[in-house]
């Protein structure tokens, strides 16, 4: 019984070690560098955009993450500007970033760069799914080990103390 308890403890330590290694692997796989790939595309586009007319020349097929470019002139009304900066018209599974457009040192408007999904949300979802799955699997394994200990090994341990051979009275 003591050997089983020691082995169960080792299994628990191994479970915790593998869980920590899995979380570290997720952290490294989804580092800030991997999550910021859309920013590289936004920087490339913004470097080539000098005004609203330049937006028409941007080939969106050249970009993997940025899907939509929307221009708002500086002369837009307050309600249009509020809706634009609030993100009206952007799908829930999309994220956006807004940057000013300069022409000869003056702001001529703003460009809203819409890109698919938020990498931070995806990373959070992967963490949650991984950890929940791992906790459920670990609890099931511990329940099976507890069942084996209490229903199988404990009765055998109890009968170990019974006398092997009962002498008959003559």
Confidence of residue 35 (pLDDT cuts 50, 70, 90): low
Instruction: Give whole-number Cα distances, 11 to 8, 129, 152, in Å.
Output: 5, 22, 19
112-137: b (≥16 Cβ within 10 Å) or e: bbbbeeebeeebeeeeeeeeeeeeee
Beta bridge partners of 72: 110
The CB density around residue 13, as the number of other CB atoms within 10 Å, is 10
Find the range with the poorest average confidence among 13-17, 66-70, 92-96, 129-133: 92-96
Report the predicted TM-score, pTM, of the whole model to 2 decimal places.
Answer: 0.54
């Amino acid at each position: 019984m003591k050997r089983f308890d020691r082995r169960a403890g080792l299994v628990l330590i191994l479970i915790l070690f593998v869980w920590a290694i899995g979380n570290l692997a997720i952290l490294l796989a989804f580092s800030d560098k991997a999550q910021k790939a859309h920013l590289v595309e936004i920087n490339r586009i913004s470097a080539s955009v000098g005004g609203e007319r330049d937006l028409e020349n941007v080939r969106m097929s050249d970009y993997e993450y940025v899907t939509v470019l929307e221009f708002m002139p500086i002369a837009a009304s307050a309600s249009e500007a509020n809706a634009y900066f609030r993100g009206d018209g952007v799908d829930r599974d999309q994220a956006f970033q807004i940057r000013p457009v300069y022409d000869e040192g003056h702001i001529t408007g703003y460009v809203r760069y819409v890109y698919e999904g938020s990498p931070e949300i995806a990373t959070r979802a992967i963490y949650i799914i991984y950890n929940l799955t791992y906790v459920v699997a670990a609890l099931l394994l511990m329940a099976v080990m507890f069942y084996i200990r209490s229903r199988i090994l404990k009765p055998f341990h109890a009968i170990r103390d019974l006398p092997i051979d009962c002498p008959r009275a003559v």
